[in-house]
Amino acid sequence: MGESNDICRDSPARVILAAPLRVPLLKFALVLVIHTIIDEVFTMNQILLSDFGTPMERVERALSALRDGRGVMVLDDENRENEGDMIFAAEKMTVEQMALTIRHGSGIVCLCITEARRQQLDLPMMVSNNTSHYGTAFTVTIEAAEGVTTGVSAQDRLTTVRAAIADGAKPSDLHRPGHVFPLRARPGGVLARRGHTEATIDLVSLAGFRPAGVLCELTNDDGTMARAPQVMAFARQHGMPVVTIEDLVAYRQAHEPQEQAC
């Protein structure tokens, strides 16, 4: 009987029947490992972020930096794009800052504008049917009609930005296509869409500037996207505050009802 039980326990039929049960268990174990890693990364990032202040302090420091003419690093959610963008108030940006943006960024220098500015400049959307994962609202690319050469240099791109945000800017002030990528922000800012475009418009507006800002995704030296630890290291190196879109959402929710009540 003992031998018979051993044979039954180890028989091919028993192994085959048990195999399907192992697959869900392996998947479950893998999910647990992944969630554990995500939780550990989130905790580490929160510890690193705390060096830049509390959420409210981070927003205030970002606004102060923009008013001083400095740049700000903006992080979005880890389960979204999980990237850090350099942002600058368009009307305060310098050639040196544009060069820094081009040198350390993805090369896609974006000008965040409102729908009203898009209509003022008569900029059609890049596509009529936007199928990008996060609905990134690119218009056609632009170049200043005057004062530029190839349009690629830091000076040329800044000239294009200034032409587009000028008070009396008109469609004929810009050529299409070009080397600057306008992004139309959604009305309502980060309360309507938690994107870098909306965060840029919200921050520069809260800092007291016209609603137009320049952004570019930060990349590592090897060309990969910079994630939270690399973004914060870059910010320390270049004296930039770091703020998250979640910080900005909380800041607006905390402050705007009080302002409306007044």
Residues tagged in the binding site annotation for D-ribulose 5-phosphate:
80-81, 85, 193-197
Tokens in use for 48? 């690193």
Q: Which residues are annotated as a binding site for Mg(2+)?
A: 81, 196
Cβ neighbour number for residue 246 with a 10 Å cutoff: 14
Q: Which residues are annotated as a binding site?
A: 80-81, 85, 193-197
Among 101, 98, 217, smallest CA distance to 161 is for: 98
